[in-house]
Structure 1
Amino acid sequence: MSTLSARPLEKAYDYIVVGAGSGGLPVVRRLIERTDATVLLIEAGETGFGVPEIEDPAAWVPLGRSRFDWGYDYTPSPLVNGRTIGIPRGKVLGGSSAINALMWYRGNPADYDAWDAAGCDGWGWSSVLPYFKRAEDWEGGETTFRGAGGPLRLTTSRNLHPVASAMLEGAGDVGIRAIADPNGETNEGAAPSNFNIAEGRRFSSADGYLKPILSNPRLTVLTGSHVLTLLLDGTTCTGIRHLVDGQPVETRATTQVILSAGAINTPRILMLSGIGDPAELAPLGIPVRHALPGVGKNLQDHPLVQAIVCKAKQPLGEPRDNGGGTMLNWKSRPDLVQADVHAFPVQGNSAEPRVRELYDTSGEVFSMGVGLMHSKSVGHLRMLSSDPFGPLDIQPNYLAERQDLEALVSAVGTIMDLAETKAFSDLFAGFAAPERRLSKAETVEFIRNACGTFFHTSGTAKMGRDALSVVDPRLKVHGLDGLTISDASVIPIIPTCNTHAPVTMIGERAADFLTGQD
């Protein structure tokens, strides 16, 4: 346990924020800026400041399964041929924004109108756009759709890698038009990626939101402290029980506890505290303090086919940016209302382990990852014991819905077509995985073997007003006082994008609700 400012841990604070990721840090920043409150920020991981592999945008992949990752896995399923799929989740200041692929992407305006229609009043596109803009310091300056002067630096590549350039140039030949900005009026098309990169370094939520306020005397940042349970007095959350130097300590919140531990740890903390589905808590011997059957339900993530691997005609050189550089968004079927599939370049081999076993992906290769952003399959998270460090059943049910599989079959074909366009003529020397065009049945099998994760776990404490909702549209936990949730777990329907930007927006909104600005 350590506090960044060497301030001692007090017995009580006005606000306690659990988790220093994309959803929690905007809350901390705005509470310090707008109020005279004392704030305790608790993070289970390290500070991560000055770590070369965190700062280097091209070095992010090995951060999964490093000491900065929680080390969670999705439960094997026959739908993905029994494979274990790891889910990197940041265990460090900045949360997953400190170990992810550095992508800033909001999805489609229709995504948020769907939230509003699902009972999340006031969360339609026109309502959330100002919060996206508030977070941004966009290299192009403020526009109708973009923000400037916000905490997070956002840039595009200064020098696109040849593979990224080829994807951008060849997209038109497979029916995907070029657009200037995937965070503009529409996300459908091919465009340079928006990165959390500044002066060649990762610019995480900790860089943007936390570092400028670290010296404030009303803020205490406690790292290396694992939260065990919430403290409840009847129907009021009054604080937390957490480990400090390995020993359990109780710290009180006089105004509010904000759970921002992410879509895996937030429902786990709720369930450990007796908040959840009685039918799941009882077999674990956890007394029910507050029945909320939706805790751990509604788990959603985007399935990613890793990857279409191509042989390269020539050496590709050193990786640039995050190892990617561009993004493509298009419709797997022409009758769809919005783009549902997504692809990106990889300046090397990004094949899943099973694909590497089945195909020869050695030598000079490049890859194109392709995935489903408008996925319909829904899973769950369950605790398998009452041990705070015990095993979890985390099941996204990838490919459970037939329409998800059909969309990916179409998308794989489009990307194989793209590899054979003129734009790739100086790069493409044939397919490595799969090594040839496949029948539909063969493509389905390839997808089951290649399916991985975009790391967008969400939805496990969803916002809304139905029986499985956990928080209301102001992010307060139903039936409890003193407890707000601000992270990806509150997402009711997964948006068609990487989740760092929407979770940051959620954090900005949570701050407004807490400080009376909304």
Structure 2
Amino acid sequence: MTLTLPHRPLQTSYDYIVVGAGSGGCAVARRLVDGSEATVLLIEAGDAGLDVAEIDDPREWVPLGRSRWDWGYSYAPTPRINNRVIGIPRGKVLGGSSAINALMWYRGHPLDYDAWDAAGAPGWRFADSLPYFKRAEDWEGGETAFRGAGGPLRIETSKGLHPVARAMMEGAGELGIPIIDDPNGATNEGATPSNFNISQGKRWSAATGYIRPILGHERLTVLTGSLAINLILENGRCVGVLHLVDGHPVETRVTTHVVLALGAIDTPRLLMLSGIGDPAELKRLGIPVAADLPGVGQNLQDHPLVQAIVCRSKQPLGPKTDNGGGTMLNWKSLPDLVQPDVHAFPVQGNSAEQTLRDRYDLSGEVFSLGAGLMHSKSVGYLRLLSAEPGGPLEIQPNFLAEPSDLEALVRACYTMMDLAETQAFADLFDGFAAPRRRPSRADMVEFVRQGCSTFFHTCGTAKMGEDALAVTDERLRVRGIDGLSIADASVIPIIPTCNTHAPVTMIGERAADFLLGRSAALAGTA
């Protein structure tokens, strides 16, 4: 039975308004309620989605894309991916994408965050960010120098690795890749059991961990089914939000601060609809300029994923376990790199893109090895094609635009084929299904173009920094507008080498501390 949210009448104003209840928004709202006497309104366009069977089941996350819980966005085609449209699952529900994703908790490499600091966001080094990662965690192994315990988000590993997942981990050792205990420990390089937001066999989303325990709090109002369509700006300050309630526009005012956490697609959309963005783009849309910030919608980054090397199995694979995977592999596509740039995971079944399904016979018992690029260099953009709320967008990640991205993916796919032929897979591997045999380099390039998909780690479209494209400062405040901050993946200046749920949660934790004036004290404990 689905959970019904407490009914609390909408007030005309609140101390804080948080727009978007994803990984960042849930963290901000919870910490504002816990850390102050303020009233908080959390606005979510989707439904509550708590205690919904298809959301809670970790094994069935894939069908949540293109369901009622998904915004239904897609990346625009280019010749580099053979003019295919790539869908981008984005959660439209309490918990945002943490309620429909692959349940991975992974923060990448320490150098990722040092790079943010070097790129013009001082105070975001790994040493500065680690306390906030730890504060979010309730790690099954308890607190360590790198892990937290007692936080809102439960994090566990597999209770019993699927044979395909175990073979990936053990086969990596045969290829000379280290086997490590924890990808969120001292190093992420190697094969390791995945960290999952799972507890007692059920998904543990940002909404489950951060918001559900305080749903009854008198200072928190959670409003679902409400689309934000504009920001109310007066004399250079954000003083409220215009949003739909039962289909009708309502102005709700704020006395202290508005925090945008709609994600890397809808935060820049709302900024531009409100006149915050590139004046040329706003003029094209007929929107008056409130703040000249040409970086809004620029710097879009994502991780390309090749779906997938598909192998025939000698034996039935049995029922799916965990999230349908269970382990991960992080390694260097070239030996002289300073950190791992490629990533792979097993799939207990067929995970091939439709173009590959159309091209190859993938019938029968098969398993897949997905390979992706986590240190991608290609950069794209987002454009509004209409000034109407909910209007069409052009979302372009420019996958494979950088030749080095394509080369790394080609090498990663060959490594997956090497992995399938290790002794660890001897009881499983019964030949390749896609591709059918080890291809030439030219054929592997074509395979990558045909199979290129997304990890749906869209980020960077309202980045923090100091250059001409920076939209926020290092404390997440929108430049040129008082009383407005961003706490989602759009502020990320350089994509980290990981799934984005963990870093965005960390950003939300930090955003609340910035607002409450506590950041320096906690950062000093790193």
1:52 Cα offset (Å): 0.4
Q: Which residue of 2 aligns with 1:189?
A: 190
Say yes or no: does 1:162 pair with 2:186: no
Any idea what the Cα deviations from partners look like across 1:340-375, whole Å, max 9, x if unmatched? Answer: 000000000000010101111111100010000000
Q: Which residue of 2 aligns with 1:491?
A: 492
* Aligned counterparts, 1:7-406, within 5 A: 7-406=8-407
Q: Which residue of 2 aligns with 1:517?
A: 518
Q: Which residue of 1 aligns with 2:483?
A: 482
Q: Normalized against structure 2, the TM-score is what? A: 0.98
Following the alignment from structure 1 to structure 2, what is the Cα–Cα distance between the partners of residues 197 and 490? 27
Q: Does the aligned pair in 2 maintain the 1:3–1:222 contact within 8 Å?
A: no
Following the alignment from structure 2 to structure 1, what is the Cα–Cα distance between the partners of residues 180 and 173? 11
Any idea what the Cα deviations from partners look like across 1:20-49, whole Å, max 9, x if unmatched? Answer: 000011111111111111100000000001
Following the alignment from structure 2 to structure 1, what is the Cα–Cα distance between the partners of residues 27 and 38? 15
Q: Which amino acid aligns with 2:389?
A: P
Q: Which residue of 2 aligns with 1:440?
A: 441
Any idea what the Cα deviations from partners look like across 1:379-422, whole Å, max 9, x if unmatched? Answer: 00000111111110000000000000110111001010000000
Following the alignment from structure 1 to structure 2, what is the Cα–Cα distance between the partners of residues 500 and 152? 11
Following the alignment from structure 1 to structure 2, what is the Cα–Cα distance between the partners of residues 387 and 236? 23
1:234 Cα offset (Å): 2.0
Following the alignment from structure 1 to structure 2, what is the Cα–Cα distance between the partners of residues 3 and 222? 12
1:286 Cα offset (Å): 1.0
Q: Which amino acid aligns with 1:390?
A: G
1:19 Cα offset (Å): 0.4
Any idea what the Cα deviations from partners look like across 1:244-269, whole Å, max 9, x if unmatched? Answer: 11111110011000000000000000
Question: 2:24 aligns to what SS in structure 1?
Answer: coil
Q: Does the aligned pair in 2 maintain the 1:3–1:221 contact within 8 Å?
A: no
Q: Which amino acid aligns with 2:296?
A: V
Q: Which amino acid aligns with 1:368?
A: L
1:466 Cα offset (Å): 0.5
Any idea what the Cα deviations from partners look like across 1:420-478, whole Å, max 9, x if unmatched? Answer: 00010110110000111111111110000000000100000001010000000000001
Q: Give aligned pairs, total.
A: 517
| Percent of residue pairs bearing the same amino acid type | 72
Q: Does the aligned pair in 2 maintain the 1:7–1:220 contact within 8 Å?
A: yes
Q: Does the aligned pair in 2 maintain the 1:4–1:220 contact within 8 Å?
A: no
Following the alignment from structure 1 to structure 2, what is the Cα–Cα distance between the partners of residues 363 and 149? 44
Any idea what the Cα deviations from partners look like across 1:154-205, whole Å, max 9, x if unmatched? Answer: 0000010000000011101222110110000000000000000000000000
Q: Does the aligned pair in 2 maintain the 1:237–1:257 contact within 8 Å?
A: yes
Q: Which residue of 2 aligns with 1:418?
A: 419
Following the alignment from structure 1 to structure 2, what is the Cα–Cα distance between the partners of residues 24 and 289? 24
Structure 1 runs of 4+ aligned residues shifted over 6 Å read none
Question: 1:23 aligns to what SS in structure 2?
Answer: helix
Following the alignment from structure 1 to structure 2, what is the Cα–Cα distance between the partners of residues 387 and 30? 33
1:57 Cα offset (Å): 0.3
Q: Which amino acid aligns with 2:272?
A: M
Q: Which amino acid aligns with 1:204?
A: S
1:4 Cα offset (Å): 2.5
Following the alignment from structure 2 to structure 1, what is the Cα–Cα distance between the partners of residues 213 and 346? 34
Question: 2:116 aligns to what SS in structure 1?
Answer: helix
Following the alignment from structure 1 to structure 2, what is the Cα–Cα distance between the partners of residues 165 and 191? 9
What RMSD in Å do the two structures reach over aligned CA positions? 0.9
Any idea what the Cα deviations from partners look like across 1:106-134, whole Å, max 9, x if unmatched? Answer: 00000000000011000001000000000
Following the alignment from structure 1 to structure 2, what is the Cα–Cα distance between the partners of residues 436 and 474? 51
For structure 1, the residue ranges without an aligned partner over 5 or more in a row are none
Following the alignment from structure 1 to structure 2, what is the Cα–Cα distance between the partners of residues 246 and 335? 56
1:78 Cα offset (Å): 0.8
Q: Which residue of 2 aligns with 1:454?
A: 455
1:281 Cα offset (Å): 1.1
Q: Does the aligned pair in 2 maintain the 1:23–1:507 contact within 8 Å?
A: yes
For structure 2, the residue ranges without an aligned partner over 5 or more in a row are 520-526
Any idea what the Cα deviations from partners look like across 1:217-237, whole Å, max 9, x if unmatched? Answer: 011000000000100002100
Question: 2:321 aligns to what SS in structure 1?
Answer: coil
Following the alignment from structure 2 to structure 1, what is the Cα–Cα distance between the partners of residues 5 and 183? 37
1:3 Cα offset (Å): 8.9
Following the alignment from structure 1 to structure 2, what is the Cα–Cα distance between the partners of residues 13 and 202? 31
Following the alignment from structure 1 to structure 2, what is the Cα–Cα distance between the partners of residues 298 and 512? 26
Following the alignment from structure 1 to structure 2, what is the Cα–Cα distance between the partners of residues 307 and 485? 35
Following the alignment from structure 1 to structure 2, what is the Cα–Cα distance between the partners of residues 388 and 361? 42
CA gap of 1:381–1:106, structure 2 versus 1, over 3 A, is same
Following the alignment from structure 2 to structure 1, what is the Cα–Cα distance between the partners of residues 36 and 262? 23
Following the alignment from structure 2 to structure 1, what is the Cα–Cα distance between the partners of residues 251 and 80? 43
Q: Which amino acid aligns with 2:134?
A: K
Question: 1:503 aligns to what SS in structure 2?
Answer: helix
Following the alignment from structure 1 to structure 2, what is the Cα–Cα distance between the partners of residues 356 and 191? 29
Following the alignment from structure 2 to structure 1, what is the Cα–Cα distance between the partners of residues 328 and 443? 26
Following the alignment from structure 1 to structure 2, what is the Cα–Cα distance between the partners of residues 513 and 117? 20
Q: Which amino acid aligns with 1:495?
A: P
Following the alignment from structure 1 to structure 2, what is the Cα–Cα distance between the partners of residues 175 and 437? 21
Any idea what the Cα deviations from partners look like across 1:277-301, whole Å, max 9, x if unmatched? Answer: 0111111111111110000000000
Q: Which residue of 1 aligns with 2:523?
A: none
1:480 Cα offset (Å): 1.0
